[in-house]
């Protein structure tokens, strides 16, 4: 915080007679921790930078027009409305005073910071994308960590086809129809697969001057396999299926430069390749949320290379048994940054707090139960690794549908998601293709009048045109 700013003011609440649990973050870890405390004799405050709970594994379907943001991001207040011991606050944690047990937060649209006290703290702030020391890449290659990212990418992807229809120059048209996805983990594979579905199936026959099937899709990763956590057999099958979809898979390949018009790739033999592309998606690398650095500085807790807090076996910060760190911001036993780790560690932290208050023995360490991994490749095609089971194709895809539907929060979200899946997978349509001028052409266009004025002045430059 700026030293010249006034001190944050505590929010006025009725005096709390019960134990105060502050949960920072409304993702899987934070939400499931809050719900696990619904019967505990505590007062729960959920502090989050957005007013919704995000089902992040389906963000790529928002970006490619299958689902709306409301189906994967229900309001946190609505989810917790029946939980009388829970309240929700909008704000991002920016500082912590461990001695006073207070967290300082900022809310968009509110100038003054505010503070919240706690007796127990659960930090579930998640992770953001990492550009491996090149944050400037983010301007031209958005990640896929938030609703804003997904809507930004939706505008870029659908806008690319619209603008390609207007191009006279074949080279410019090819550049607009070249899509580069960086990162061959689950998010990258699913994103590349859905762009291929769009180009080869959903948009077929809708344009008169271009053939969407001519789109070029590249999936790039520095590793030597796709989906490395799924095992060699499933990785090989996934790579083969991606090739069948017309996706160019470039492994052992690093991104050395990225700008508005192109991506520079460095191959294992040291050679470099410049790929002209207007639409880039960054699905490689993660870094802990900014608050992790604040917490580490305040507690002198060790961190790993991604900035995640290295916690004790019971998910607490060394020297601070009142502070739990869960989910993607936690470094423990090389656990992956997946939803199940966040859910189970959030529930574990809640159980530890409850056991302490009731005087019961607490479990000495967090034990993660791996429920397997799932990833879609395209319509009717997925891969599943669950215990000894290795499945591909339609059986894995049906399992993927069932599991993701069950973990969506809210009956309405499940019903509308099933409808949109039927439209997209049984048919060819995409129910959510609407994009705004701001999404397609950049933030300088804020209204139709702005667009017309820029056009009249000859300054109407589409997003990432670079011309």
Whichever domain contains 299, its CATH number is: 3.50.50.60
Residues 28 and 165 occupy one common structural domain: no
Domain that holds residue 142: 135-283+379-426
CATH number of the CATH domain containing 388: 3.50.50.100
**Per-residue model confidence as pLDDT tens digits over 137-169:** 999 999 999 999 999 999 999 999 999 999 999
Is residue 184's pLDDT more than 60? yes
Q: Is residue 335 part of a domain?
A: yes
Residues of the chain above pLDDT 70, percent: 91
> In terms of domains, do 112 and 139 share one?
no
- List the single range of 125-134, 298-307, 311-320 with lowest mean pLDDT: 125-134
Is 342 found in the same domain as 293?
yes
Q: What is the average per-residue pLDDT within 56-70?
A: 94
- Give domain status of residue 443, yes or no: no
Candidates 165, 167, 190, 272; catalytic one: 190
Distance CA 304, CA 268 (A): 27
- Assigned domain for 450 exists: no
* 405 shares a domain with 272: yes
> DSSP assignment, residue 248?
E
Structurally, how many domains does the chain consist of? 2
Residues 45 and 179 in one domain: no
Residue 355 has pLDDT above 90, yes or no: yes
Do 240 and 354 share a domain, yes or no?
Answer: no
Q: Do 296 and 272 fall within a single domain?
A: no
**pLDDT at residue 276 greater than cutoff 60:** yes
Phi-psi category of residue 329: left, alpha or beta, with phi > 0 → left and psi -120 to 50 → alpha: alpha
57 within some domain: no
Q: Are residues 279 and 290 in the same domain?
A: no
**Tokens encoding 402:** 């069932």
Helices (H) then strands (E): counts for the chain? 14, 24
Question: Which stretch of 238-252, 303-317, 348-362, 408-422 has the lowest confidence by average pLDDT?
Answer: 408-422
My answer on whether 43 and 166 are in the same domain is no
Q: What is the pLDDT of residue 361?
A: 86
In a domain, 343, yes or no: yes
**pLDDT on residue 99:** 97
For residues 90-111, average pLDDT:
94
Residue 58 lies in a domain: no
Residue 56 lies in a domain: no
Has residue 467 got a pLDDT over 50?
no
Same-domain pairing of 342 and 397? no
pLDDT confidence tier of residue 440, bands split at 50, 70 and 90:
low
Answer whether residue 51 shows pLDDT above 70. yes
Say yes or no to pLDDT of 446 above 50: no
Smallest CA-to-CA distance from 378 within 393, 356, 366 is with 393
Question: Is 190 a known active-site residue?
Answer: yes
Whether 63 is covered by a domain: the verdict is no
Report, as an integer, the average pLDDT of 35-62.
96
Relative to beta strand 320-325, strand 120-123 is parallel
Residue 392 sits in the same domain as residue 353:
no
Query: If you average pLDDT over residues 48-52, what whole number do you get?
Result: 96
Whole-number percent of the chain with pLDDT over 90 = 78
Residue 379 reports pLDDT greater than 50: yes
CA distance 191 to 65: 12
Give the pLDDT confidence score for residue 129 in this predicted structure: 86
Residues 247 and 346 in one domain: no
User: What letters, b where the CB count within 10 A reaches 16 and e where it falls short, cover 179-190?
Assistant: bbbbbbbbbbbb
């Amino acid at each position: 915080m700026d030293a010249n700013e006034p001190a944050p003011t505590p929010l006025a609440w009725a005096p709390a007679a019960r134990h105060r649990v502050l949960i920072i973050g409304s993702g899987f870890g934070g939400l499931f921790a809050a719900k696990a405390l619904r019967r505990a004799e505590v007062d729960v405050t959920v502090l989050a930078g957005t007013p919704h709970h995000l089902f992040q594994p389906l963000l790529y379907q928002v970006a490619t027009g299958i689902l709306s943001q409301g189906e994967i991001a229900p309001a946190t207040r609505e989810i917790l409305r029946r939980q009388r011991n829970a309240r929700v606050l909008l704000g991002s944690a920016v500082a912590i005073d461990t001695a006073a047990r207070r967290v300082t937060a900022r809310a968009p649209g509110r100038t003054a910071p505010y503070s919240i006290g706690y007796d127990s703290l659960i930090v579930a702030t998640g992770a953001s994308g990492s550009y491996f020391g090149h944050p400037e890449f983010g301007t031209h290659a958005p990640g896929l960590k938030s609703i804003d990212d997904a809507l930004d990418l939706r505008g870029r992807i659908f806008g690319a086809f619209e603008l390609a229809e207007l191009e006279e120059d074949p080279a410019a048209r090819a550049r607009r129809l070249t899509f580069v996805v960086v990162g061959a983990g689950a998010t990258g594979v699913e994103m590349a697969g859905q762009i291929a579905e769009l180009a080869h199936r959903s948009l077929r026959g809708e344009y008169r001057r271009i053939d969407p099937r001519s789109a070029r899709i590249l999936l790039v990763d520095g590793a030597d396999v796709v989906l490395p956590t799924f095992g060699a057999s499933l990785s090989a099958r996934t790579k083969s299926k991606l090739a069948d979809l017309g996706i160019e898979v470039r492994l052992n390949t690093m991104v050395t430069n990225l700008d508005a018009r192109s991506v520079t790739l460095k191959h294992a033999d040291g050679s470099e390749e410049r790929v002209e592309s207007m639409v880039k998606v960054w699905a490689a690398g993660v870094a802990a949320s900014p608050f992790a650095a604040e917490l580490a500085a305040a507690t002198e807790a060790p961190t790993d290379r991604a900035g995640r807090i290295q916690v004790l076996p019971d998910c607490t910060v060394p020297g601070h048994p009142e502070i739990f760190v869960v989910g993607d911001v936690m470094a423990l036993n090389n656990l992956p940054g997946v939803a199940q780790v966040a859910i189970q560690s959030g529930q574990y932290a809640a159980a530890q707090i409850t056991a302490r208050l009731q005087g019961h023995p607490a479990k000495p360490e967090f034990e993660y139960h791996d429920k397997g991994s799932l990833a879609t490749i395209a319509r009717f095609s997925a891969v599943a690794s669950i215990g000894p089971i290795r499945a591909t194709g339609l059986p894995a895809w049906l399992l993927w549908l069932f599991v993701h539907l069950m973990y969506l929060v809210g009956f309405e979200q499940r019903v509308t998601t099933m409808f949109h899946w039927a439209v997209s997978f049984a048919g060819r349509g995409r129910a959510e293709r609407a994009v705004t001028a701001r999404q397609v052409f950049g933030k300088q266009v804020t209204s139709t009048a702005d667009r017309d004025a820029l056009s009249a002045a000859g300054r109407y430059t589409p997003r990432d045109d670079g011309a």
